[in-house]
Structure 1
Amino acid sequence: MQKSTNSDTSLETLNSTRQGTGAVQMRIKNANSHHDRLSQSKSMILTDVGKVTEPISRHRRNHSQHILKDVIPPLEQLMVEKEGYLQKAKIADGGKKLRKNWSTSWIVLSSRKIEFYKESKQQALSNMKTGHKPESVDLCGAHIEWAKEKSSRKNVFQITTVSGNEFLLQSDIDFIILDWFHAIKNAIDRLPKDSSCPSRNLELFKIQRSSSTELLSHYDSDIKEQKPEHRKSLNQIFGSHLHKVCERENSTVPWFVKQCIEAVEKRGLDVDGIYRVSGNLATIQKLRFIVNQEEKLNLDDSQWEDIHVVTGALKMFFRELPEPLFPYSFFERFVEAIKKQDNNTRIEAVKCLVQKLPPPNRDTMKVLFGHLTKIVAKASKNLMSTQSLGIVFGPTLLRAENETGNMAIHMVYQNQIAELMLSEYSKIFSSEED
């Protein structure tokens, strides 16, 4: 399998706005197949703290990635969480197996459903204007899992609905498919899983629709594919709350985090694009499984030779935390702190918030950002500046619990907070006991 050298993030912040004012330019790229590439740009001027003025664009290509906003009602627009190109194949309809037929689809994820539009975003716009309804998937009670065995293509995951519909989604680009998987999984996890769903429970449906042989095959497949999300051990690491992991380990910093950091500092500080370049997704998933099943992990083993696999697994650990490293209850407070005009005031406000964090969050944050300062110190070799790491880690470490505002603006603040934690690390984390 060919290793990916694509960026771990599609957003490049071209001008830092550490002072809370000035021009911010963002280039958004979404390349999802050899045949479909979408490149768009958007300029935003922060004329006032937290306020955005957008220049009027005369060209369709200069609109934001939320290209459907001119035809979607305002309430519906707020519900759109993600959209873009993916390869899609429907392999079952109401429990009846279908021939796998891959096609490129423009996919729109909202808080409760996914909509598939054929061919292109232009056709999606045309369909919505004419009232044509796209194929829609209700995520309530749905199940999502990686499905390596279902296709010879790489980076494939499957969505199964309570009504028995099954879809495969795929992209050759590792970070794009990872972002989609976690966005859809998070949407499913937020939805009710009981009788409030429109259909019966997924497992009940499977029992009614499947023969005992098929069920045995299904569960045997789960075991062979080593799906840790269905076989959580008592010492689950990925997907567990940070404080629970630390309680089990009698520590305030997870052992896995410390082990990854040690490996990167031993052999990755000089590597070009460290933390930005994606590692092989299948190998990262294998590492994830080993950690979750309490098997002995030796990151010096040759199978983890690619340091981008280690950094990818560390980022995945933080992405899969049920609550981010920056707790939800602190998100708005950190945003307000970063908006402060005076730099010293801003640093003191952030430092005060860090001191109020629960010990596992605070100590893990200190270890992680201390490590990242060592990455920045080697920026001349690894080409990862404070700004670059802010772009990578901002959305990974902090986010709003309910995203109802301008996601682009939140992303700017997320990046800025991560940058400040790096650039002013010694001031923010010094004398925490005072």
Structure 2
Amino acid sequence: MKVTDSSVIRFHLQVLHGITVGSFEGRRDRLFIGTAKVFGVPLENLPRRYIPEFGLVPCFLVDACLFLLERAGTVGLFRKPGSLPRIKTLRTKLNSGEGSLSTALSYDVATLIKQFCRELPEPLFPSELHEALLKAQALSNTEDRTSALQLLSCLLPARNSSCLHYLFSFLFGVSQRCAENLMTSSNLATVFAPCLLPPPNKAEMSEGRLELRVLVLRAFIENPHMFGNKPIILSPLAAL
């Protein structure tokens, strides 16, 4: 049976993996009328483009990723920072709806992608999922770990899922050129951990907890096909 209902997914996570996830689907979309801003704006208020296989993805993210895919061999992409003055100017133009990435530099655009993710009012991975993701990553059995992470990705709101699936697929492509850019999936996961799974407090910044965050992202970067792809598992009664 292919899992489709969030309550069934939660049931299997609890029964099969001992992971409990509270409900967070009740959040209401917030509308900000009359703004062209790209940064610091909720996903639901951003201009989005339909991309087959992924769904609706923010136009900025699509444009930035396509721009960098052509330059994915750049050494230290996402690790080396861009120029702050250039980035500030480009941000201002993008937020006014007049900006273009066509003449930008790779490091500047890579920095903008990280800023875009980091400055969302709510992380792409909702905070309610963070602890469950870390518990899933800590499971000792590889198959259980993969199953739990995949199920958790299916609980995301559609707008978050589309955005993350697209981003992880892009980062997978970047990692495939690590011989040129020196950015492995582990390097990329380390760079994006503060943007996608930000620690909420100092207690969560211990080496072990930070490592789990990196490993979660590494798993999705290396296997973007499993993100949000509902697995075929036993029926709820058979799982008992």
TM range (shorter): 0.7 to 0.9
Letter in 2 for 1:281: L
Q: Is the 8 A contact 1:395 1:411 kept in 2?
A: no
Q: Deviations over 1:5-29 (max 9, x none)?
A: xxxxxxxxxxxxxxxxxxxxxxxxx
1:273 aligns with 2:86: no
1:424 alignment partner in structure 2: 223
1:236 aligns with 2:2: no
| CA shift for structure 1 position 432 | 6.9
| CA shift for structure 1 position 235 | 2.6
Structure 2 alignment gaps of length 5 or more: 1-32, 51-55, 234-240
**1: distance between equivalents of 2:116 and 2:34?**
16
**2: distance between equivalents of 1:343 and 1:271?**
33
Of the three residues 260, 279, 304, the one matched with 2:64 is: 260
Q: Deviations over 1:345-387 (max 9, x none)?
A: 1111111111110011101111001001111111111111111
| CA shift for structure 1 position 428 | 3.6
Q: Is the 8 A contact 1:347 1:428 kept in 2?
A: no
**2: distance between equivalents of 1:240 and 1:433?**
35
| Residue identity (%) | 25
1:289 alignment partner in structure 2: 92
Alignment of 1:327-342 (within 5 A): 327-342=126-141
- Structure with bigger gyration radius: 1
1:396 aligns with 2:199: no
Q: Is the 8 A contact 1:272 1:383 kept in 2?
A: yes
TM-score by length of 2: 0.75
Q: Deviations over 1:205-262 (max 9, x none)?
A: xxxxxxxxxxxxxxxxxxxxxxxxxxx96232201112222xx547531000000000
Superposition RMSD in Å: 2.1
**1: distance between equivalents of 2:115 and 2:177?**
24
Name whichever structure is richer in strand by fraction: 1
Q: Is the 8 A contact 1:264 1:311 kept in 2?
A: yes
1:414 alignment partner in structure 2: 213
Structure 1 alignment gaps of length 5 or more: 1-231
Of the three residues 317, 329, 353, the one matched with 2:152 is: 353
Q: Which has the higher contact order (CA 8 A, sep 6+)?
A: 2
Q: Specify whether residues 405 and 360 from structure 1 end up closer, same or farther in structure 2 by C-alpha distance, changes over 3 A only.
A: same
**2: distance between equivalents of 1:233 and 1:291?**
15
Q: Specify whether residues 433 and 285 from structure 1 end up closer, same or farther in structure 2 by C-alpha distance, changes over 3 A only.
A: farther
Name whichever structure is richer in helix by fraction: 2
Q: Is the 8 A contact 2:39 2:116 kept in 1?
A: yes
Letter in 2 for 1:289: T
Q: Specify whether residues 273 and 337 from structure 1 end up closer, same or farther in structure 2 by C-alpha distance, changes over 3 A only.
A: same
Q: Is the 8 A contact 1:337 1:346 kept in 2?
A: yes
TM-score by length of 1: 0.43
**2: distance between equivalents of 1:290 and 1:249?**
18
